[in-house]
Structure 1
């Protein structure tokens, strides 16, 4: 061991310790990167890793791994990495010790029972092959995108540019673009091909060239969202606050007591739609990676705003219906299962709902198993529902219209909390 340690030092790698260094949760917890330059440690399977420097070159983005600094990242690590052998080479050089034998793996017996059952479910999912993609399914998805695009041109070419053909020609590209967005989402989660490299390559083509957005930017933000959904300062989807919206009771009361009034939040349920839409159109228009010539040409024409208007409307309601009505608060360092279930809800399954939402009506299953191909959500849903029932966790599933309405209801409630605290806090 001494020779191995000496050889490691000469080679520039971390020396191999004769005995692992033991740490307590308290020692790990204070290495959370809370202050600039502070160390960042995290725990995976009771082993302690120093990711202070590695976080800057983490393939999934620096912040997503930093969000688990000072915490147990075991289940998040498993959820994000299908190919464990590929990432083990990175982990070895980051290992600094392990938890002391007297340190619990779980904070409570309730959490222990929930996570043990979930990990057993994860093993069942892997044995059933539910993490393996069906390439034929995704080929049909991509084919129907091409058909929608071709149909738009054919309608205008054959019927001319009168009002009805023109509107039909505008609707088809909108449908194609939103469905392309769901498809690139699949690619971003590496659920279309077995090899991550193929997913990333095709995603770059789809989102960079066909949608005009940078893939690296999208992945960096979306990975953070999945790591800590609905957590202030960690979920980028909440970063528009408090400039536009006040979501959740905690932030609303906090802003009210601070007498901050960036917007009339008590009316946010009325201006929610237009604010999100303008933000999305502005982001697309100013993206430097719009490589598709058709976008560049159409940017000079006012007719481009109709497809973007329809696409943005569609995207806004679908992307927000599963999260805004759920718990929104600061990171409470909950376990992986509780974090995802408290921040997500489902929309009832139907052929239309599956297609309309790109299978994101199964948001619970998608968040628990982010690399699972979408065509397998319905298979694991009964197992997840059973797990929730066993542990007394509500498994929320609504109709599509109820989910849309709950967005406005939750915004109205948050706005009222802000107004009450602003006037009387």
Structure 2
């Protein structure tokens, strides 16, 4: 019998059975800045070309583009609860895998830390720490709603004389809805993302007068690359008022830029930042409520245009009242002290392709359990596990601490007062770096 001349069994197998192998050097050059602006990233050792998909990415093209040429495994796992859904989008984007001799992460060659962290996440999922307690969040929302309504009823019923006015201001300020909408933005209140998004629109669009898509678009980038110049949008506003981190401070000093006397920024921080944030929460976002960003930069479809236009008019009139501006100012004051105590004291620099989880281990302090549960969503557990409900932070903290101790990473635990003082100390240090470079750079 004559030998067969057709293709062998190996040759007829689909191409997917023999994936192309890449090195980190090949992946790194496809960072969106070279010729063709191609964007590759790595998830679980698989290489994906997201050059075209980034424009359709539900979380925005910038947040996915920040990981171009890098390993995005842990950030991907942290932000996506519904893995089966996203796998449908990932599969056609795969172009190969990392070669067997390549480390799992180019940024962190400590494979043991990488493996232990992923085991920790699996353990947390098995313990049910990513599942929300609906009763807890119902009570949170109920007390916020009662405080907000009570603030308006007090002013409406008793008039705007001093006592009812300041009583209403106090009630409005205590009703910190910013934290609750933060929970919703992280999809940690309901198991289904769509319910979190719908409820977030009720809280932030209707009750706060801000566009949810605007907040999510910025906050997703912040959590993807915290405190990285040009990638964390929270840093874009700072050079006008503050000089943060040694690197930026020295750059501003050497360029002889002096928008503010940065060597005194630790003194004017508490007087300048709150009104700045109050203005940020006022006209600009409210105007953009009726003009959502393009779909590729939006995490979900915004409410209809006629509804947003009505909301815009309502909040423009509401925010023109002094009885709203003052609570917003006080709310901003509390918000910036609470939120910035684990942002400003962190290491601030350009993106060095540092390991995602190590960035949070090294920078975020842990705080007293009661406080972090009710007033502080942004701590180590939130940063490492963004979709974790805040009522489970105290259960995850010992597990995170044990992992830090095992690998010799400092587990920062501070009192509230110490955390507040660290903001001023960090601002003072940065201001001194700026002044030294300004005078002698």
* TM-score, with structure 2 as normaliser: 0.87
What pairs with 1:80-229 in structure 2 (closer than 5 Å)? 80-107=79-106, 111-156=110-155, 159-176=158-175, 178=176, 180-229=177-226
* Residue correspondences, number: 406
Corresponding residue for residue 250 of structure 2: 253
SS at match of 1:129: coil
CA contact (8 A) 1:353 1:400 kept: no
User: Which structure would you say has the larger RCO, counting Cα contacts within 8 Å and 6 or more residues apart?
Assistant: 2
Name the CA distance, whole Å, in 2 between partners of 1:109 and 1:57: 29
Taking only aligned residues, the RMSD between alpha carbons, in angstroms, comes to: 2.0
CA spacing shift, 1:253–1:36, aligned 2, 3 Å: farther
CA spacing shift, 1:164–1:353, aligned 2, 3 Å: farther
Q: Which moved more, 1:78-87 or 1:205-214?
A: 205-214
Corresponding residue for residue 388 of structure 2: 372
Please list the CA deviations of residues 50-96 of structure 1 after superposition, one character each: whole Å capped at 9, or x if unmatched.
01111111111111111111111111111111110010011011111
1:265 to 248, 257, 262: 262
CA contact (8 A) 1:210 1:292 kept: no
CA contact (8 A) 2:108 2:354 kept: no
Corresponding residue for residue 9 of structure 1: none
Name the CA distance, whole Å, in 2 between partners of 1:159 and 1:208: 28
CA contact (8 A) 1:321 1:404 kept: yes
CA contact (8 A) 2:21 2:98 kept: yes
1:301 to 312, 317, 321: 321
Q: Which moved more, 1:108-117 or 1:216-225?
A: 108-117
Name the CA distance, whole Å, in 2 between partners of 1:16 and 1:314: 57
CA contact (8 A) 1:269 1:408 kept: yes
Note the C-alpha offset of 1:279: 2.6
CA contact (8 A) 1:231 1:329 kept: yes
CA contact (8 A) 2:71 2:106 kept: no
Note the C-alpha offset of 1:320: 0.5
Corresponding residue for residue 304 of structure 2: none
SS at match of 1:89: helix
Note the C-alpha offset of 1:228: 0.9
Note the C-alpha offset of 1:423: 0.8
Corresponding residue for residue 25 of structure 1: 24
* TM-score, with structure 1 as normaliser: 0.91
CA contact (8 A) 1:245 1:263 kept: yes
Unaligned runs of 5+ in 2: 1-6, 8-13, 290-307
Unaligned runs of 5+ in 1: 3-14
Please list the CA deviations of residues 126-153 of structure 1 after superposition, one character each: whole Å capped at 9, or x if unmatched.
0000001111111001110122123324
